[in-house]
Amino acid sequence: MPDISDLSRRIRFSPHEGQIWLDDQRVVILNLEALIAMRRELFEALGPGKARASLFRMGYAAGTREAIIALKVRAGKPQLDAFLVGPQLHSLRGEVFVEPVSIDADVESGQYYSELIWRNSAEAESHVACFGGSSDPVCWMQIGYASGYTSAVMERPIEFREVECVACGDPTCRIVGKPAEEWPDTANMVMTPHVVLPPVGDRIQDRMPVGVIGTSPGFLGAWYLLKRVAPMTTTVLLQGETGVGKEVFARALHDESPRAAKPLYSVNCAAIPESLIDAELFGVERGAYTGANHSRPGWFEAADGSTLFLDEIGTLALNAQAKLLRVIQDGQFARVGGTTMRKVDVRLICATNVDLEDEVRRGNFRLDLLHRLNVFPLTIPSLRERRDDIPPLIQYFLARFNQRTGRRVAGFTQSAADALLLHDFPGNVRELENMIERAAILTLDDEPIDALHLFHGKNYLKKTFLTPLTSGALIEQEFREQPEPAQTSLTSGLHLWEIEAIAVREAMAACHGNVSKAARKLGLTRSQMRYRLRDK
């Protein structure tokens, strides 16, 4: 089996955030008792046949997803090493120890056959704890994982079957995998998906408009509320910190509404001087004030029959608030300097990054207007509260940058991905977008973005994370921009590859991200340095 350290160092424990990451996928640790309880509930609720199929499909989805890690982590390595990522991840998570007996795999020809021994199967142990022994093999989730993973890597349906199982009294579990059509019967085909389904998050993302990125629970909760209110004419108040994407939500709300055929009109209330806000929103009659040489409509008239988005509504002057209240109540207003009441049909979306109730207490905002705006409040979570969305967001922003500029920036190093997952992002999604663009500009074509490109010399990263050593112990690490000596002492508990990674990081820091200079500093060729950066 290949050295597993390239996989183990992709596990990151962030106890201060309550999160664990395997590469860019969030994972959790469950004790065996929880799996036993889940298995028992599935059998009682669904019956043995449906429970078996459900467990298989859960494993299949996980295996399909983790094939992405295999194709990334061991790209350029021997094909067998890349294939064994799946079995080694199985072992790394404590599900089972995989011992290859024979593997014959060739992606180009589609030829595949393997036989594997499973030792210490957690699934077999949980089944025995639930139901005692079995006359049939029981490791259905693990079989699903093996089938989904191998099908994705081989790019054709590969089916595994368990031919021996500890739950049946065998000394170990043994599985055999080969192309689905080569099995002499279809006994297992009831469990094999006819279509390989992408993970649930991907299916949800496919149904969202371009530029709306997120599958985290907090984000999906906000999106659910948006979908519920979009068909209505109800006034919506978008709340959230600066940069969370309130304007993106406003546009999505308009695009999902019956008014989508007409344009969305957006006004930033904070950008308009107090003396002009009335004229901008409600229009002005000729001669209303010095310089008003002709009559013109305001934003409410322009948005008649459509949607008007008022950003930073908390900055609106009190006199403008009174007029806005009148428009919301009966849809009528008069232009500045005019006496004719004009009636409009406008769907109003407002946004704020301040607490309007606090503004009411300070006398800066009308309570009656707050009540009118607060019919359907929708809070967009900060990026700190939806870290699960960082991986798809950074891939989206980088792909958009490459498409817009014709560049070929090649993804992110592991240290860059770790840095982004740990950063607090006070500027939220807008800060992340700007950070990716700046880093991409600094990165050469066909090179990955590194952590040194992200923070532009600012020492933002103070948090620590835990990562496993080869021995299985966890070591605390901290991101630093300032150079610090590599800990090469044997008493540090670091292994050779860990010492090398520190040396590479410090050389890159000392040379301000210049790969050639850092390579010379370490006595390496540029190619050798690039290889080590990709493997970080």
What per-residue confidence (pLDDT) applies to 358? 95
Per-residue pLDDT, averaged over 398-424, amounts to 88
Residue 330 has pLDDT above 80, yes or no: yes
Per DSSP, the three-state class of 239 is strand
What per-residue confidence (pLDDT) applies to 483? 37
pLDDT tens sequence across 222-250: 999 999 999 999 999 999 999 999 999 99
Residues ≥6 apart with Cβ < 8 Å to 454: 416, 419, 420, 435, 438, 439
Q: What are phi and psi of 379, to 5 degrees?
A: -95, 125
pLDDT tens sequence across 112-124: 999 999 999 999 9
Closest CA to 141 of 60, 69, 79: 60
Strand 264-268 with 307-311, pairing: parallel
d(CA 421, CA 415): 10
Domain 31-197 in CATH 3.30.1380.20? The answer is: yes
Residue 487 has pLDDT above 50, yes or no: no
Q: What percent of the chain has pLDDT over 70?
A: 85
Query: 260: which 2 tokens?
Result: 């989508």
Is residue 353 very low, low, confident or very high in pLDDT (cuts 50, 70, 90)? very high
Strand partners, 468: 474
d(CA 64, CA 275): 60
Higher-confidence residue of 263 and 500: namely 263
Q: Do domains 31-197 and 202-381 have the same CATH topology?
A: no
Q: What percent of the chain has pLDDT over 90?
A: 39
Higher-confidence residue of 483 and 492: namely 492
Per-residue pLDDT, averaged over 82-91, amounts to 86
Q: Given CA atoms 283, 285, 286, 288 in this order, what sign does their dihedral have?
A: negative
Is residue 511 very low, low, confident or very high in pLDDT (cuts 50, 70, 90)? confident
Closest CA to 383 of 324, 436, 312: 436
Strand partners, 351: 238
User: Which helix (DSSP H) or strand (DSSP E) does residue 478 occupy?
Assistant: strand 474-478
Query: What architecture is the 202-381 domain classified under in CATH?
Result: 3-Layer(aba) Sandwich (3.40)
pLDDT tens sequence across 129-161: 988 888 889 999 999 999 988 988 888 889 999
What per-residue confidence (pLDDT) applies to 414? 76
The residue extents of the domains of the chain are 31-197, 202-381, 407-534
The number of CA neighbours under 13 Å toward the Cβ of 203 is: 7
What per-residue confidence (pLDDT) applies to 477? 61
What per-residue confidence (pLDDT) applies to 374? 94
